[in-house]
Amino acid sequence: MSSIAPMKIGSIESAPVVEKKPEADLAHSFTKALDEARSLDNEATQKADAFAANDQSVGIHEVMIATEKANIALRYATTLKNKALEAYHELMQTNV
């Protein structure tokens, strides 16, 4: 985070804007995690469907790993969502 210059009385207009670093943004992480979860879920579903059709090119380890990955990604995205919600609630309760 770039440093904030001390504010001088009467110079609010000249106060520097705080640079926003996207990587540190919780909302961004959550969106990323959601996309990841969605994509891994599609992959797992695709593999499971192929496995169910007795496609011999999908090995049992492949489909199991894909399923567990999707599982973990879902849980991670959910955890982030819960944290984001928590942060939001905390913020809403702050007396301004």
Which residues contact other proteins (rule: CB under 8 A)?
Answer: 37-38, 41-42, 45, 48-49, 51-54, 60, 63-64, 67-68, 70-71, 74-75, 78-79, 82
CA–CA dist 45, 71 (Å, integer): 11
CA–CA dist 26, 28 (Å, integer): 5
The answer to whether the beta carbons of residues 22 and 28 sit under 8 Å apart is yes
**Cβ nearer to other proteins, comparing 8 with 61:** 61
What are the residue ranges of helices labelled H in 1-96?
A: 26-52, 60-93
**Cβ nearer to other proteins, comparing 2 with 35:** 35
User: CB 52 → other proteins: shortest distance, Å?
Assistant: 4
User: CB 92 → other proteins: shortest distance, Å?
Assistant: 20
